[in-house]
Amino acid sequence: LDLSRKDVCDAIIKMVSEVLSSAPITYVKWDMNRHMTEVGSASLPPERQRETAHRYMLGLYRILEELTSAFPHVLFESCSGGGGRFDPGMLYYMPQTWTSDNTDAVARLKIQYGTSMVYPAITMGSHVSVIPNHQMNRITPLEMRGNVAMSGNLGYELDVSKLSDSEKKKIKEQINTYKQIRHLIQFGDFYRLLSPFESSEAAWMFVSADKSEAFVTYFNVLAEPNRTYGKLRLDGLDPDRVYEVSGTGCCYGGDELMYSGIGIPEFYGDMQSVDWRLIAKDR
């Protein structure tokens, strides 16, 4: 559609508004899997064809301005895969973006780590998808897929009716965990601990502004023989407070966790992950 034309924009605003008014809709995925090529407009003369792309974006912004103003209760999510736009211009209207059409958990480590260099986790759409993965044909454990997806706005893109009872139970546990830590993911301070671009390991953590709680995730993509016992150094904690690892009863000083680290469990097999939730306690 030629969004550089006012009549086209008017028609889109009218049609979308009618749909949004027809039901109690609260979420819209704005996706268009087509890059702009051979850009031109029948409404402009030959000497002004180079204006089309710019006028197209102005038309799109006008559509989004009117729709988001008329329906402030609707969460609009844009898409970097469909439309190629993960930028401040779209985030002004749509505070959440589908980070990539590649939902493979291993690939997403680099995708989400790299995206975090510019944009906060609250803007990233990150879902658990079916295996074998549609893009990579890779099979990854549900545990790892969940931990990767919980590092952004968690969702699930799979046929629930085809899940086993154990998978359904695990997903319920993941959702319950995410509800407990969602405020950390969306509004906490983000710390990158291990880069997936440098080895087969990756790790990051989220810390509340008052440093009273944190959520840490560690990933190991490829297993190694005779792996030595390792520790993961954390960041952003209060060195003068004690943190309890939720569900274990174990307590460590914030200084110890940052300068010595937390013990990484032994893993057997590829694509393993573990998470820790830390709650501050008085010494």
Enumerate the active-site residues. 31, 101
> Under a CB-based contact definition with an 8 Å cutoff, are residues 238 and 209 in contact?
no
Instruction: Say how many CA atoms lie within 13 Å of 153 toward its Cβ.
Output: 14
For residues 36 and 87, give the distance between their C-alpha atoms in angstroms, rounded to a whole number.
Answer: 17
Tell me phi and psi for residue 241, to 5 degrees: -115, 160
Q: Which two tokens stand for residue 206?
A: 């989220």
Q: DSSP code of 83?
A: S
Residue 135 CB partners (closer than 8 Å, separation 6+): 101, 102, 103, 104, 107
CA distances from 102 to 1, 26, 35, 98 (A): 26, 25, 17, 10
Task: Give helix 105-115 / helix 142-149 axis angle, nearest 10°.
Answer: 20
CB proximity list for 272: less than 8 A, separation 6 or greater: 141, 143, 144, 219, 220, 223
The two beta strands, 242-245 and 272-281, are antiparallel
d(CA 195, CA 207): 18
Which DSSP category does 228 fall into? P
The per-type count for the chain, helices as H runs and strands as E runs, is 7, 13
